[in-house]
Amino acid sequence: MKFTETRLKSAYIIEIEPIEDERGFFARSWCRQEFESHGLNPEIVQSSISFNKRRGTLRGMHYQASPHEEAKIARCTMGAIFDVIIDLRADSFTFKQWVAAELTAENRKMLYVPEGFAHGFLTLTDDTEVLYQMSTFYEPASARGIRWDDPAIGITWPLAVSAISARDQQYEPFGS
């Protein structure tokens, strides 16, 4: 696997390194030793799928508050997403900065989201599916979110939002 650190410390784009032959290819998509060698949390205790019917569906920006902060690996298994993370670590020199990656079924890239980050995405195609692997169990009492259009963060989304949950619409700007 190829690990490329983003400009947000500890957040990585992960690419598979396929071994191809006439049948197709084989590649590892997760390896505890490789995650540990990059200083990443290798724990996976839960996996979830998000299916989205329409292009322009926005989910986010979600995180779990302490003491239930989670690391997450996101991969688009069908369709395409504009995947966004925001550094919410107050002691980080990239505090309140964001980075995005286009994850598609074709490019098979993954985004490693460290603890202390908010995460969300916008679908770029109809019928999009996203697979998540998380380092800690979902804890409803620790579930939090911030506005996807918070002017203090300034995310530049590539297209208009056509579907968003009532919960995601009601989140407050960060720090308000």
Contact between residue 63 and residue 109 where contact means Cβ atoms under 8 Å apart: no
Instruction: Give strand pairing partners of 72.
Output: 113, 134
3-state secondary structure of 140: helix
pTM: 0.95
d(CA 10, CA 4): 10
Digit-coded pLDDT (tens) for 12-36: 999 999 999 999 999 999 999 999 9
In 3D, which of 1, 171, 147 has the Cα closest to residue 84? 147
Q: Would you name the residues annotated as active-site residues?
A: 62, 132
Taking phi over 0 as left and psi of -120 to 50 as alpha, with beta for the rest, 108 belongs to left
List of domains in the chain: 2-170 (2.60.120.10)
Q: Any idea which residue has 């032959």 for tokens?
A: 21
Question: pLDDT tens for residues 50-82?
Answer: 999 999 999 999 999 999 999 999 999 999 999
